[in-house]
Structure 1
């Protein structure tokens, strides 16, 4: 099981069943649901104990302000990890999402990963901007990558970050 990861302001704590309602509430906000889909199904997915997946509550001053997940490809010739994140819109613009990504990325690099991926919707320009500020680079557009809540297919942007490319400063990374 994943442990607690501390950042300068945020604390990443493994999600447990007691987080189900808060996770669902965050994922049900319109600003998050447009990118994540059905809140109940997504909360179930975050709480499922699948090998290679770790899900965390993003806490600030004891309050859960978001959710973050990592998944690991453990096949030696393709070893890397990926990140997904959702921040409660009430906490947008304060840098908590950027810090959570940064501390989880540093943790994953320390665990031996040399490359991280993240795959926002192309239309999620706010997220893409934050990921670029952290050092992620666009790799390519995945056409008709995911089905949106409206039932139509949407393009995704594959982005990656290599060890040594993570930007240290968080001041310019509000998320």
Structure 2
């Protein structure tokens, strides 16, 4: 995969050398609460290395001003009658609220639509993650519905998720 350039971010294939910086971001309380149900795996670096080795998921390091600020990943459902791609990401809390997440999502969405010919993309933030929902909405994602008791939280209880999708015609370029 080639390097993707957004208005402010660069998305490039994640490599082993990125793991310490990505683990540091995943270890922040804000990211840990959303990305791993609040429980940090015993070895975040090993967990990220496993993500990078998963052939079904493409992991891209997000850079801003030549600094690693997070990771965005995508997968594809290739069954012809249900073909679509899904996106997930996390960002360093130090850059939250600056539009960099929207830029990363928009950049990857454009690539998935224009290069991989996906007509539909999905993303599934926690239903109470208003900041993420605003971010994805700015890129053109729309709410589809609540997925009840979708993910287990750090407290062991189940929490709702919001399924959002974006059709190729909805992408805010």
TM-score (norm. length: structure 2): 0.90
Does the CA-based 8 Å contact 1:46-1:69 persist in structure 2? Answer: no
Q: Which stretch shifts more, 14-23 or 31-40?
A: 31-40
Q: Name the SS of the counterpart of 1:100 in structure 2.
A: helix
Task: Determine the structure 1 residue equivalent to 2:84.
Answer: 80
Structure 1 position 127 matched with structure 2 position 126: no
Task: Determine the structure 2 residue equivalent to 1:115.
Answer: 120
Alignment: residue pair count: 166
Residue 42 to residue 132, structure 1, CA distance change in 2 (3 Å):
farther
Q: CA deviation at 1:151?
A: 2.0
> Using the alignment, how far apart are the partners of 1:47 and 1:14 within structure 2?
9
Q: Which runs of 4+ in 1 moved over 3 A?
A: none
Cα distance per residue 1:66-115 (max 9 Å; x no partner): 11001111111111001001010011121111100000000000111000
Task: Determine the structure 2 residue equivalent to 1:172.
Answer: none
Does the CA-based 8 Å contact 2:119-2:168 persist in structure 1? Answer: yes
Does the CA-based 8 Å contact 1:87-1:97 persist in structure 2? Answer: yes
1:59 to 48, 54, 63: 63
Q: Name the SS of the counterpart of 1:112 in structure 2.
A: coil
